[in-house]
Chains A and B, each alone.
Chain A
Amino acid sequence: MTAWGGALARAERGAVDVAEGARLLREAPLFALGRAADAVRRRLHPDGVVTYIVDRNINYTNVCSCGCSFCAFYRGKDAPDAYVLSEEEISAKIVETIAAGGVRVLLQGGLHPDWGIGEAERLVRAVKRHPILLHGFSPPEIWHFAHQSGLTIGEVIARLRDAGLDSVPGGGAEILDDEVRRRISPRKIGWEQWAEVMREAHRQGLRTSATMMFGSVESPEAIVTHLLRVRALQAETGGFTAFIPWTFQAGNTELSRDPRFGDAAVPGFGHALGYLRVLAFSRLLLPDVPTVQVSWVTMGAKVAQIGLFFGADDFGSTMMEENVVASAGVAFRMSEEEIVATIRDAGFTPARRGGGHS
């Protein structure tokens, strides 16, 4: 085994600190990283199956009091293009989704200043009137409902679950490092709050994913910190089904006008090769998370396909609509047929999945 191979094997076992992890992420040869990640993927998914889901992304509101500088989607309550979807609009979207063979709705939105648990419950019930799985409310939204209504996180999750929530998306994780969060999302919950929501969701039997948005102002050390924190949480709860890293999309964001961002761009990982490195390193560092998903929404079909050779075993979803990344000017689209053909072309067996990652 080469020196790199040995170091990468130690990383997989978790015997790696932040500094050593960052060195591997930065310096390990691309193909050594790819091979190590591919080996983990083969061990977990020896049948060569790559899954995807037919579902729809519904963003119930763009009104958000968080105002993160990396986000091009949020609006103030009084902005001319601020919106809150009505129950009728949401129902119509779900009927369309079911007609298209969709099995799940991914429901996320801004932190609306007037919303609390009551509004969230109503929304869940409106969705669950239809025979469809609901994957909804990232940790910042759950935290927001609790804060607004004076409830504990446990109470909010219990009420949402009782109303019909099936699983929780791993959004709002950005980089799980408070120094980075202070720079790009100072009004969003800190990393420990994010972890607390996930821990509670897992405790109450809800499965969740975990995400990571990289390529903004974070250091390689912060990326490794994020991965090690997800790893530790997974060791504790086992509740994460999938890890989804994706790249910051700068268009129309406040952060893109930040001069410090320009300096960070070259050594950062928010580009195609950086994406493959982070994807592979994520697979390597999270061997207890069953699935790693590519992000064709941010990287396009071509890079996403190459991601299947760098540790990923899931192609994400058909989305049907995507509003958040699209606000930043990125508009990749893929139909189910394209997803299937792309997976097959790479020599893998495509398989539709249900709500979980099974």
Chain B
Amino acid sequence: MRAGSRHIRDKVEAGERLSDADALALYGTRDILAVGEMAQLANRRVNGDRVYFIVNRHINPTNICVNRCKFCAFSKGKGEPLAYTMTMEEILRRSEEARAQRATELHIVGGLHPDLPFDFYLMMLRSLRERFPSLHIQAFTAVEIDYFAKITGLPLREVIGQLKDAGLGSLPGGGAEIFAPEIRNRICPEKISGDRWIEVMEAVHAAGLRSNATMLYGHVETLESRVDHMRRLRELQDRTGGFQSFIPLAFHPKNTEIAKGYTTGLSDLLALAVARLYLDNFRHIKSFWIMVGPKLAQISLHFGVDDIDGTVVEEKITHAAGAQAGQEMPVAELVTMIRQAGRIPVERDTLYNVVREWPAEGPPA
């Protein structure tokens, strides 16, 4: 496998950065064993045999959203039958459950609500921090941050500063989808541009907050647009170093306006393995078991992945689009799944500090 003068494998072994053409060549191959082996090599160089997971709880405070992205089955207009907005009590009750279950993180993302004021979110953060000081709050995609700037008229830096002061610990990586405008205009014309997403994340990192990055694949994007997407993330990471993990998200077609099937096992593994190889400045590549299913998530541990997300407990967004996995994965199951893969399970907190490490068991390779 080569793109240009040097064999990709030689570059990977030498720890050299791959070119866009290399990434495209990797996406185009069906030699999945070779790609997996290279991704495994690159992953082990950074993470050894450790595989991370987190005990967390997802909370989606509202599904009411002023945007209507065509790939999204979650968002609803105000007044539509399935539209909901949680009260502060409902959010606190879920957080209390999370604490009781030994969670270390609340993962909070939601729709762009037309009426909720910025103060609602600040109050939510303050209440959560006050009531649950041990829980790290990872919340708000770049899209929501931009929306807060829009509804308040405040500059990004000010919005992020106020959220941070109120208790925001870090940001998830959603809303990135595919940056390339020609694809973005087809799947989410109302959403902020790729440029703006990058600008928001740059401001977030500048404020001293870490975040993740995602890529939605398996819809109408081209392989070139995926590489372009990852190139922009790699460039930003070179500038800020603020990304913790990269998470490819498999498009789920049910109840959406995009007529496509589910992603295949091969496309899922390639998305993860190529990310590991190309995004050489991202330490963690995460396979979200809700998206690809627990079985493929386990296989991906040999294809460059070192993180399988967490216990989740309640997931609404992917399930609205026909996710077939459950909504909750108990710690014991995560640990077993990792040990069966011959890896070392490590419970992490949001910032990848080790909470607990299990001994390895099972076949080493």
Chain A residues at the B interface, C-beta cutoff of 8 Å: 26-32, 34-35, 38, 265-267, 271-274, 276-277, 299-306, 309, 338, 341-342, 345-347
Indicate if the CB atoms of A305 and B365 lie closer than 8 Å. no
Indicate if the CB atoms of A301 and B365 lie closer than 8 Å. no
Q: Fill in one digit per residue for B243-264: 1 if any A CB lies within 8 Å of its CB, else 0.
A: 0000000000000000001101
Q: Among A300, A306, A342, which residue has the most Cβ atoms of chain B within 10 A?
A: A306
Indicate if the CB atoms of A31 and B33 lie closer than 8 Å. yes
Knowing A305-B265, A345-B264, say if A31 contacts B40 (CB, 8 Å).
Answer: yes
B30 at the interface (CB under 8 A from A): yes
B269 at the interface (CB under 8 A from A): yes
What residues of A have a CB within 8 angstroms of the CB of B301 in the complex?
273
Knowing A266-B362, A271-B340, say if A346 contacts B299 (CB, 8 Å).
Answer: no
Indicate if the CB atoms of B296 and A303 lie closer than 8 Å. yes
B contact residues, total (Cβ < 8 Å): 34
B349 at the interface (CB under 8 A from A): no
Indicate if the CB atoms of B295 and A303 lie closer than 8 Å. yes
- Docked CA distance A241–B154 (Å): 71
Indicate if the CB atoms of A338 and B261 lie closer than 8 Å. yes
9 contacting pairs across A/B (C-beta < 8 A): A26-B363, A28-B365, A266-B339, A272-B295, A272-B299, A273-B299, A300-B295, A306-B32, A342-B264
What residues of A have a CB within 8 angstroms of the CB of B268 in the complex?
302
* Dominant secondary structure of chain B at its interface with chain A: helix
B37 at the interface (CB under 8 A from A): yes
What residues of B have a CB within 8 angstroms of the CB of A28 in the complex?
365
- Docked CA distance A32–B36 (Å): 11
Q: Fill in one digit per residue for B284-319: 1 if any A CB lies within 8 Å of its CB, else 0.
A: 000000001111101101100000000000000000
Indicate if the CB atoms of B361 and A345 lie closer than 8 Å. no
**Chain A: CB-nearest residue to B31:** A309
Q: Select A27's contact among B339, B340, B341, B365, beta carbons within 8 Å.
A: B365
Indicate if the CB atoms of B340 and A266 lie closer than 8 Å. yes
6 nearest CB pairs, A to B: A302-B265, A347-B30, A272-B295, A29-B365, A305-B265, A31-B37
Task: Report A47 CB to chain B, min CB distance, Å.
Answer: 15
**Chain A: CB-nearest residue to B343:** A273
What residues of A have a CB within 8 angstroms of the CB of B26 in the complex?
none
- Docked CA distance A34–B266 (Å): 15
What residues of B have a CB within 8 angstroms of the CB of A347 in the complex?
30
Q: Select A34's contact among B33, B261, B339, B363, beta carbons within 8 Å.
A: B33
Task: Report B191 CB to chain A, min CB distance, Å.
Answer: 28
B267 at the interface (CB under 8 A from A): yes
B336 at the interface (CB under 8 A from A): yes
Task: Report B41 CB to chain A, min CB distance, Å.
Answer: 10
Chain B residues at the A interface, C-beta cutoff of 8 Å: 30, 32-33, 36-37, 40, 261-262, 264-269, 292-296, 298-299, 301-302, 336-337, 339-342, 361-365
**Chain A: CB-nearest residue to B337:** A271
What residues of A have a CB within 8 angstroms of the CB of B36 in the complex?
30-31
Indicate if the CB atoms of A306 and B266 lie closer than 8 Å. yes
Task: Report A305 CB to chain B, min CB distance, Å.
Answer: 4
What residues of B have a CB within 8 angstroms of the CB of A305 in the complex?
264-266
Indicate if the CB atoms of B298 and A271 lie closer than 8 Å. yes
Indicate if the CB atoms of A306 and B363 lie closer than 8 Å. no
Indicate if the CB atoms of A266 and B336 lie closer than 8 Å. yes
Indicate if the CB atoms of A302 and B296 lie closer than 8 Å. yes
Q: Among B301, B336, B362, which residue has the most Cβ atoms of chain A within 10 A?
A: B362
Indicate if the CB atoms of B261 and A341 lie closer than 8 Å. yes
- Docked CA distance A91–B339 (Å): 48
Task: Report B341 CB to chain A, min CB distance, Å.
Answer: 5
Indicate if the CB atoms of B293 and A27 lie closer than 8 Å. no
**Chain A: CB-nearest residue to B267:** A345
What residues of B have a CB within 8 angstroms of the CB of A26 in the complex?
363
**Chain B: CB-nearest residue to A302:** B265
Indicate if the CB atoms of A276 and B299 lie closer than 8 Å. yes
What residues of B have a CB within 8 angstroms of the CB of A342 in the complex?
264
What residues of A have a CB within 8 angstroms of the CB of B267 in the complex?
345
- Docked CA distance A342–B261 (Å): 10
Given known contacts A299-B295, A302-B293, A303-B265, what 5 new A-B pairs fall within 8 Å (CB)? A27-B364, A27-B365, A272-B294, A274-B340, A341-B261
